[in-house]
Structure formats: structure tokens, C-alpha cells
Amino acid sequence: MWKGRFQKATAALLTQYGESISFDWRLYKHDIAGSLAHAAALERAGIISGDELGQITEGLKSIERDIDAGDFEFKIELEDIHMNIESALTERIGAAGARLHTARSRNDQVALDVRLYCRQAVGDLLTKLRTMQSALIACGKRHQDAVIPGYTHLQRGQPVLFAHHLLAYVEMFGRDAGRLTDSLERINVMPLGSGALAGSTVPLDRDFVAEQLGFPAITHNSMDAVSDRDFVAELLFDLALIGAHLSRLSEDVVLWASAEFGFVTLSDAHTTGSSLMPQKKNPDIAELTRGKTGRLYGNLVSLLTTLKGLPMTYNRDLQEDKEPLFDSVDTVGIALDIFAEMVGEMTVETAVTRAACSDPMLFATDIADYLVKRGVPFRDAHEIVGRLTAHATTTGTPFPEIPLATYAEFSPVFDESVLALFDIETALAARTAVGAPSPANVAAELDRWSAKLA
Ligand code: ARG
């Protein structure tokens, strides 16, 4: 493509070192869509004839069909997807193909392709997030009466509904979807017409190109347009955070599936055995997802590091944007798919989770609230119940079995109504504030999300 200036052929090692076709071939549909729109703009500007536009269009479509069918030979000597397609086009249609690259550089071309890729990826990921949320909602509905201890510091705190725990993740994935949707505003900006860095003297109608490709906006600085990868960094962050959310859920699933908790049973289809220990049934999906989250963070840091020292404008370093991007999109995509499947077939062992809630210590906060409602300042109530807890622990007497006379020694405010506190259903039903886990609230939240996701 640049043979005019050079006397020596490219070193074999540089061909190998510099090629990106082994990964950027994935951009072929976006590259062809961009070329079709660019060719139409060239025709409008009088650079190519209607006949040439026809030949270019036919040529590009035949290349796309061949790549779709696996009948296209990518050549590493042609470095990247842009030159592979352009060279094949010229081979197929001759002179008209050689006019296509007028007023265009691979710098604005690759910026366009990556934006188109990101736009499509965001659309796909939004669908996958919705499927994942729906699987969590369905699991919550299947086990609508299941209670589970809520934890802080991995110490049992207060009972909640299992569905309330799952709905916490539905909220996280909802924010993730919101972030992805917001990112489209910055992804959806059309850079073609920026040339290598300073636009072109050819009068291209950039708005016309944008319109054909479905972009609501065009870039306003040619130098920024060819070197901006903010939108990629932003997407990598969004994906890293989805990874963080999936990884937290993974950790819950790993704990729940252990013999120590025994809260859930995973389907055989979503677990693996051991080559040595015949009894094992391992939650590999959760472990792999927790592990792959490290890669997602790495991909974000990798791109941020690539960007930090770059002088204006395009630098070849930017070719390093694609592998982390593709990897994060692929990794999060399959993780969401497989998690939705796993959650879809996960069974909650409701007798076990209920037994775990039978520890009367889980009602300590409710006893303090009981005192507060009878006029005791919360700090005093906290201390009274703290001493009561110490008494229960040292004497081995659970709260419901402590005699009323003993309660009265801790505070004169206690009467027999305190014994009504030690019932999970009563405790849950009393938690009626918006966002709190009363069964009525949780049912309403499951319905609200179902309607939102439908
Ligand atoms: N393969 C290159 C990339 O991914 C395309 C742009 C090449 N531009 C250049 N001036 N060498 O960034």
C-alpha cells in the first residue's frame, strides 16, 4: 500500500510483529459498512461515478459473502482488516477499487470500525444483562417463601427473604445496563472524514455518511477523532464492573453450594467432578467467573496504560486497544449467558436456609427496636440487648427460653409480648419501609422488575 516510497521489503519479523489481521478480522462487517457509506459520499462529491459506486458496492458485498462463508484468505502481509479488504476489492474490480481510499486513512477507518463494534457489543450485552436479571427474578419467584440469613462480615445478621438477596444483584445489573446505555452517547459519534489527522481537501458530506451508518452525531475535531479511545476505556470499565458484580455473586454461590452452608444445589450440568475424589461436585462456573474478573480488570488497566503517554495524534500503540476490548466483551458475554443458565436451574434448599435462620440471635436487633418503641433510647437498648446476648451465650439459654423475670432484670420495659418477636415471618412482615424485605415488598419488587424487563 505504500510501496512508492520504499526500496526494501518489510522485514519478515515486522510483518509478524505488526499484523493485527489475526484479531481485527472480526471487524470485517463494520469495515465493509463503513466503506459502503464512504463510497456513497465519494460519489456525491463527484470523486467516483455512479457506475464505479455500483462496482465498489458489488465488490464489497461479494467480499463480505466470502468472509461469511469462510472462503476468504486473510494475508498477514496485508497487516490488518482494512488493507485485506481494500486489496481484495482492487483485485476483484480494478481501478474503481483503487479510488475507494480517497479522503480516508486507516486512522479514521479503524476509529469508525471500533465504534461500530462497540455499539453492537453494547446492544448484545444489554440483551444478555436482561436475560441474567430475568433468571434471577425467576429463581426468586420459584423460591418466594425461602428465608436466608443476611450477613455482614460473613456473620449472620438478620433474616431476609432469599429473593431479596437475589434482587440486590438485579439492582447491580440494572445499574450496569444503565451505564452501558449512557456510554452509547459517546460511542455513537462518527469519525470518518477526519483522514489521517487533518481531514481532507475533498468536500465529503460527513453528515450524509453519519446518517447512512445510523450515527446521531459526528466528531468535531479531526485530531481527537483519530486518537480518541475514551469510549473503549469506558466500555472496559463497564465490563470490569459487571465482572465485579458477577464475581460477588460467584462468591455467594461458592459458599452456598458448600457442605458448610448447603443453601443451594446446582444442576449436574453446571458443575464438574474431581478426577480423584469421587464425591466431589464443584461450582466451576462461579469459580471461573470470579477468576476471569481479574482479566477484565487487567484489560481496563492495559488500555489506560496504552493511552497515558501517547502524543497526538494516532500512534501505532492504539492497535493494542482491540485484543483487550474483544476479550472483555467475549468474556462478559459468555459469563452472563452461562450464569443465567446456572441460576435458572439452581435449587434453594429452603429447609436448610430456614434452619440457618432459626438462630434466635438473628432477632437481637428486633429486641432493641422493641425497647426503642417503648421509649428506651437506642444506645441504651443496644447495651441492654448486648448484655442479654452475653447472658444467653454464657448460660446457653436462647432468647425464647429466657424467663420473663430475667428479661425484667435487664429492663423493666419488657413484658410477655417480647416472646412474639422470635418468629421469622413476623420479623420480616414488620420490615415495610421501601427497599426493606417484607414479603409484600419483595413480591412487589419481583413484579416491578419483571414488568421493567418484559
Ligand atoms: N491496524 C491498525 C490499528 O488497529 C489500523 C490503523 C493503522 N494506521 C496506521 N497509520 N498505521 O490501529
Task: Give the 3-state DSSP-derived string for 43-62, with helices as H, strands as E and coil as C.
Answer: HHCCCCCHHHHHHHHHHHHH
- What is the pLDDT, as a whole number, of residue 186? 98
pLDDT at position 407 is: 96
Show the cell assigned to 100.
475507494
Pocket test for ligand 1, best of 316, 318, 322, 325 (most atoms within 8 A of CB): 316
Helix (H, G, I), strand (E, B) or coil at 347: strand
User: Is 5 near ligand 1, meaning CB less than 6 Å away?
Assistant: no
Q: Within 10 Å of residue 419's Cβ, how many Cβ atoms?
A: 15
For the chain, which ranges sit under pLDDT 70?
Answer: none
Q: Which residue ranges does the chain devote to CATH 1.10.40.30?
A: 360-453
Question: From atom 11 of ligand 1, which residue's Cα is the shortest distance away?
Answer: 316
Q: What is the 368 CA–ligand 1 centroid distance (Å)?
A: 66
pLDDT of 303 reads: 98
Instruction: Report the C-alpha gap between 187 and 111 in whole angstroms.
Output: 10
Q: Is 382 a catalytic residue?
A: no
Q: What is the CATH number of domain 109-194+219-355?
A: 1.20.200.10
User: Where do the CATH 1.10.275.10 domains begin and end in the chain?
Assistant: 12-102
Say which CATH topology domain 12-102 has: Fumarase C; Chain B, domain 1 (1.10.275)
Instruction: Give residue 280's pLDDT.
Output: 86
CA distance 221 to 207: 14
Answer yes or no: is the C-beta of 80 below 6 A from any ligand 1 atom. yes
87 noted as active-site residue: no
Instruction: Decide: 114 in ligand 1 pocket, CB within 6 A.
Output: no
360-453 to CATH, choices 3.40.47.10, 3.40.50.360, 1.10.40.30, 2.60.40.1730: 1.10.40.30
Residue 396: how many CB atoms within 10 A of its CB?
7
Residues 158-169: b if buried by 16+ CB within 10 A, e if exposed: bbbbbbbbbbbb
The CA 162 to ligand 1 mean position distance, Å, reads 51
Residue of minimum CA distance from atom 3 in ligand 1: 319
Whether 318 is in the pocket of ligand 1, judged by its Cβ within 6 Å, is yes
Q: What is the pLDDT of residue 4?
A: 86
- Parallel, antiparallel or unpaired: strands 147-152 and 155-161: antiparallel
Q: Whose CA is nearest to atom 12 of ligand 1?
A: 319
Cβ–ligand 1 contact at 2 (below 6 Å): no
Annotated active-site residue in 22, 258, 274, 358: 274
Q: Which three cell numbers stand for residue 226?
A: 483519530
* SS3 at position 147: strand
> How far apart, in whole angstroms, are the C-alpha atoms of residue 252 and residue 245?
11
Cβ of residue 107 lying under 6 Å from some atom of ligand 1:
yes
Tell me which of 153, 220, 275, 417 is the catalytic residue.
153
Please give the distance, rounded to the nearest whole angstrom, from the Cα atom of residue 187 to the centre of ligand 1.
19
Rounded to the nearest whole angstrom, what is the distance from the C-alpha of residue 47 to the centroid of ligand 1?
Answer: 25
Tell me the CA–centroid distance for residue 317 and ligand 1, in Å: 9
Sign of the dihedral defined by the CA atoms of residues 13, 17, 22, 27, in that order: negative
Adjacent-strand bridge partners of 148? 160
> Is residue 106 lining ligand 1, measured as CB closer than 6 Å?
yes
Atom of ligand 1 nearest to the CA of 79: 1
Q: Is the CB of 111 under 6 A from ligand 1?
A: no
Q: Ligand 1 pocket, 84 CB below 6 A? A: no
Number of C-alpha atoms within 13 angstroms, CB side, residue 283? 25
**CA-to-CA dists, residue 382 to 125, 386, 389, angstroms:** 46, 6, 10
Q: What is the pTM of this model?
A: 0.95
User: Does residue 109 line the site of ligand 1, with CB under 6 A?
Assistant: no
At a CB cut-off of 8 Å and minimum separation 6, what does 362 contact?
149, 156, 157, 158, 159, 427
Which residue from 410, 198, 234, 391 is spatially nearest to 325, judged by alpha carbons?
Answer: 234
